[in-house]
């Protein structure tokens, strides 16, 4: 089986968000992440490999390295790429975990690392403002290391999000909030984590009842957003341990 020029053209356009939306497809690159894709029964249109990797991916279409380079978003293209279908996720309103909402987080590497950290702590869904980076951006996918196939990302206006979870208590990350170690967090908490440079946006901040901060003793201006999210998730994990 060979790949057509039309398909090559279509797949190579998927580095643009507008084209991912148009075709409802995105590109996954790399042997390890493609194996994670198959392990999680994620729906795909095509897996494309060089001849050397055909035995590891028996359902694949064999292409030349040059053809894969046309599809790849990397400076050094992988030998394996998958063309995946963008899924339609349903929001789980009975989720027993605290809920994480990302507000205008725009660095794809940070986003992917957050998804990977959520997966580590057993979270199945993530909520994002509509101006947060696309979860199917190639850099987001690479940074998630396959966790994107286990964490459902929902893009939603914050007001609509709050209406879905009216009993949840809202907290926003801040440099001037209450020490996270002294705040009584609950499993029905919503934690809003803001933009890398500007924090939580003003319109969302006005809707929050509480703010929390991660205490530090050094001179750094702030924490990287993915590192801060990891610390917050670790604090939230203590709730689970206490309830056992």
Query: Domain holding 225: CATH number?
Result: 3.40.1280.10
Which helix (H) or strand (E) covers residue 140, if one does?
helix 138-144
Q: How far is CA 203 from CA 108, 157, 191, in A?
A: 23, 11, 15
The DSSP secondary structure of 150-176, one letter per residue, reads TSEEEE--HHHHHHH-TTPEEEEEEEE
pLDDT digit string, tens, across residues 102-138: 999 999 999 999 999 999 999 999 999 999 999 999 9
Tokens of 171: 């907290």
Long-range contacts of 10-15 (CB under 8 A, 24+ apart): 11/46, 11/48, 11/70, 11/71, 11/81, 11/83, 12/70, 12/71, 14/71, 14/83, 15/73, 15/138
Max distance between CA atoms of the chain, in angstroms, equals 61
> Residue 138 and residue 53: Cα distance in Å, rounded?
21
C-alpha torsion angle, residues 139, 142, 144, 146 (rounded to 10) = 140
Do residues 59 and 104 both lie within one domain?
no
Q: Do 47 and 122 fall within a single domain?
A: no
Could you read off the pLDDT of 200-242 as tens digits, one per residue? 999 999 999 899 999 888 888 888 999 999 999 999 998 765 6
What is d(CA 150, CA 244) in angstroms, rounded to the nearest whole number? 24
Nearest to 111 by CA among 123, 130, 128: 128
State pTM to two decimals. 0.93
Residue 15 CA to residue 9 CA, distance in Å, equals: 11
46-99 pLDDT tens trace: 999 999 998 999 889 999 999 999 999 888 889 999 999 999 999 999 999 999
- Mean pLDDT, residues 172-178: 89
Domain count, the chain: 2
Whether 122 and 215 map to the same domain: the answer is yes
If asked whether residues 143 and 225 sit together in one domain, one would say yes
Expressed as residue numbers, the domain containing 78 is 5-85
Same-domain status, 140 and 222: yes
Question: What CATH number is attached to the domain comprising 62?
Answer: 3.30.1330.30
Q: What integer is the mean pLDDT of 166-182?
A: 90
For the cut 60, the answer to whether the pLDDT of residue 156 exceeds it is yes
216 by Cβ neighbours in 10 Å (0-12 / 13-18 / 19+) ranks as exposed
| 105 lies in the same domain as 10 | no
The reply to whether 138 and 237 lie within a common domain is yes
Q: Percentage of residues in the chain with pLDDT exceeding 90? A: 78
Q: For residue 98, what pLDDT is reported?
A: 94
pLDDT at 196: 84
Tell me if 89 sits within 8 A of 153, measured CB to CB: yes
Position 244 scores a pLDDT of: 53
């Amino acid at each position: 089986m060979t790949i057509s020029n039309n398909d090559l053209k279509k797949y190579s356009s998927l580095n643009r968000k507008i084209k991912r939306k148009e075709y409802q497809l995105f590109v996954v690159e790399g042997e390890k992440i493609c194996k994670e894709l198959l392990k999680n029964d994620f729906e795909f249109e095509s897996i494309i490999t060089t001849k050397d990797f055909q035995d590891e991916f028996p359902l694949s279409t064999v292409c030349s390295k040059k053809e894969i380079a046309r599809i790849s978003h990397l400076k050094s293209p992988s030998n394996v790429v998958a063309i995946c279908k963008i899924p339609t996720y349903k929001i789980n309103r009975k989720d027993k975990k605290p809920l994480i909402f990302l507000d205008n987080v725009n660095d794809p590497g940070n986003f992917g690392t957050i998804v990977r950290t959520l997966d580590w702590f057993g979270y199945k869904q993530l909520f994002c403002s509509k101006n947060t980076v696309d979860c199917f951006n190639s850099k987001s996918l690479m940074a998630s290391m396959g966790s994107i196939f286990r964490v459902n990302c929902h893009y939603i206006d914050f007001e609509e999000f709050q209406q879905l979870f009216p009993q949840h208590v809202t907290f926003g990350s801040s440099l001037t909030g209450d020490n996270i170690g002294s705040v009584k967090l609950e499993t029905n908490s919503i934690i809003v984590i803001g933009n890398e440079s500007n924090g939580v946006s003003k319109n969302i901040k006005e809707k929050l009842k509480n703010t929390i901060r991660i205490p530090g003793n050094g001179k750094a201006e702030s924490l990287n957003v993915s590192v801060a999210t990891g610390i917050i998730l670790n604090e939230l994990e203590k709730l689970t341990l206490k309830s056992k």
